[in-house]
């Protein structure tokens, strides 16, 4: 896979070495068990897969390159480059300005942007409506486009489904930048509707089966369907695509559910006429990170630490996986580890920060599961790791133990 040129401050020599050793021992990525870092009185279970994915590294490389190559020009980001505060704040410090904030609110009017300015399209992509506005202003929407190729793959699938007269069901959050863009592309090809989760999918499924009046569609799915959508005739032939950062396992469950619904209504022998197989739209990185986190959840860890931006969908899902097994703390960086006793973490259910005391169990050997989202730099993960270790040992001890552990990992590969 291609190597990207991203700023050194986002890289971690320690994490890079661990990932490289895992790659050597498991080149086909079939082993999702975590890397065990045994420091004696604290054991870190480090996820097999975590951190920057292909799309994120591609977007970061392009953004920093654009800045370097265009000194003095006004450079705008359509929205957050990725859902990580460290990266976005650094880009702001370099003079970039965001047109839309993280809530989707426009902070810079289109009248403030001219054809001489640069507008970077983030990894999430852009709606066709926004691209049209930029094109009409004479702004090149392709040269500075950092849309993730796996997001574009989903768009291509929506076009393919539309050409075959399938209605498109999108598994995603209707106000997320990526889903907004995907919905924009999908509705050009076919009637489209967004479902947030399996519960919403089941409501739609019951409408297909006539168990819930189709008239209720417009109220239940308000702001989530394409113009002119007709639930009485547009749900006879369907295909499912997804926001790439959603739980891959849930997308699969939703797809399987709709397949069962269409089988029940039309019969197994006719299923191919009413349901499209779209498993190939799942993002490999999202899938790998989530499967690695499921493996983390199977360990005997006392607690989990998930690192990433609080508005990151894929990171939130990792926290969701771990919290079902043991106490899990979602933090943005090492600064949230206030002391051996206190941690300031994010409750993604209530969307508030919470101070928890005595988060580390009082025992001779503490076991911690550690992972991060696809938009979190490895350097932050290393900082969190070192901060956790500092609660148990001195800096020199940490340095020596890390050297010894890396040596053991290298020896295991030989």
CA–CA gap between residue 353 and residue 347 (Å, rounded): 6
Q: In what order do the strands lie in the sheet with 75-77?
A: 97-98, 75-77, 118-120
Pairing between β-strand 366-372 and β-strand 42-46 as defined by DSSP bridges: parallel
Find out whether 49 and 403 touch, Cβ atoms under 8 Å.
no
Let me know if 178 is a catalytic residue. yes
Catalytic pick among 57, 80, 177, 178: 178
**Distance between CA atoms of residues 211 and 185, nearest Å:** 31
Q: What tokens does 293 get?
A: 């986190």
Helices (H), 49-174: 54-69, 85-93, 128-136, 149-163
Q: Cβ distance 198 to 253 under 8 Å?
A: yes
413/21 Cα distance (integer angstroms): 7
Query: Residue 191 corresponds to which tokens in the numbers above?
Result: 């009637």
Q: At what angle do helices 13-25 and 378-390 cross, to 10 degrees?
A: 110
Kind of pairing between the strands at 42-46 and 35-38? antiparallel
Active site residues: 178
């Amino acid at each position: 896979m291609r190597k990207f040129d991203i700023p050194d401050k986002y890289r971690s020599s320690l994490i890079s070495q661990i990932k490289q050793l895992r790659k050597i021992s498991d080149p086909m990525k079939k082993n999702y068990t975590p890397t065990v870092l045994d420091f004696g009185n604290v054991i870190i279970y480090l996820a097999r897969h975590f951190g920057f994915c292909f799309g994120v590294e591609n977007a970061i490389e392009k953004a920093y390159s654009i800045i370097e190559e265009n000194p003095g020009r006004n450079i705008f980001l359509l929205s957050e480059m990725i859902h990580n505060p460290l990266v976005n704040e650094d880009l702001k410090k370099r003079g970039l300005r965001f047109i839309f904030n993280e809530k989707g609110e426009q902070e810079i009017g289109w009248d403030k942007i001219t054809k001489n300015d640069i507008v970077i399209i983030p990894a999430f992509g852009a709606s066709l409506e926004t691209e049209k506005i930029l094109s009409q202003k004479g702004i090149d929407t392709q040269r500075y486009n950092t849309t993730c190729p796996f997001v574009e793959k989903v768009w291509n699938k929506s076009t393919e489904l539309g050409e075959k007269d399938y209605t498109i069901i999108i598994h995603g959050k209707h106000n997320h930048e990526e889903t907004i863009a995907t919905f924009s592309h999908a509705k050009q090809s076919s009637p489209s509707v967004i479902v947030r989760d399996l519960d919403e999918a089941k409501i739609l499924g019951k409408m297909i089966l006539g168990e819930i009046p189709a008239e209720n569609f417009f109220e239940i799915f308000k702001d989530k369907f394409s113009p002119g959508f007709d639930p009485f005739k547009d749900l006879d032939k369907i295909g499912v695509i997804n926001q790439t950062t959603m739980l891959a396992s849930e997308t699969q469950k939703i797809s399987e559910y709709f397949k069962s619904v269409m089988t029940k209504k039309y019969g197994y022998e006719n299923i191919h006429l009413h349901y499209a197989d779209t498993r190939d739209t799942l993002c490999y990185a999202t899938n790998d990170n989530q499967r690695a986190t499921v493996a983390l959840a199977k360990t005997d860890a006392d607690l989990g630490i998930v690192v990433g931006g609080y508005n990151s969908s894929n990171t939130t899902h990792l926290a969701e996986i771990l919290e079902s097994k043991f106490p899990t703390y979602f933090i943005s960086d090492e600064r949230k580890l206030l002391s051996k006793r206190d941690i300031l973490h994010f409750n993604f259910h209530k969307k508030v920060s919470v101070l928890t005391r005595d988060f580390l169990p009082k025992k001779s050997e503490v076991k911690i599961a550690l992972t991060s989202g696809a938009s979190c730099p490895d350097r932050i993960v290393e900082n969190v790791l070192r901060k956790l270790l500092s609660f148990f040992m001195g800096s020199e001890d940490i340095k020596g133990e890390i050297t010894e552990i890396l040596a053991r990992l290298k020896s295991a590969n030989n």
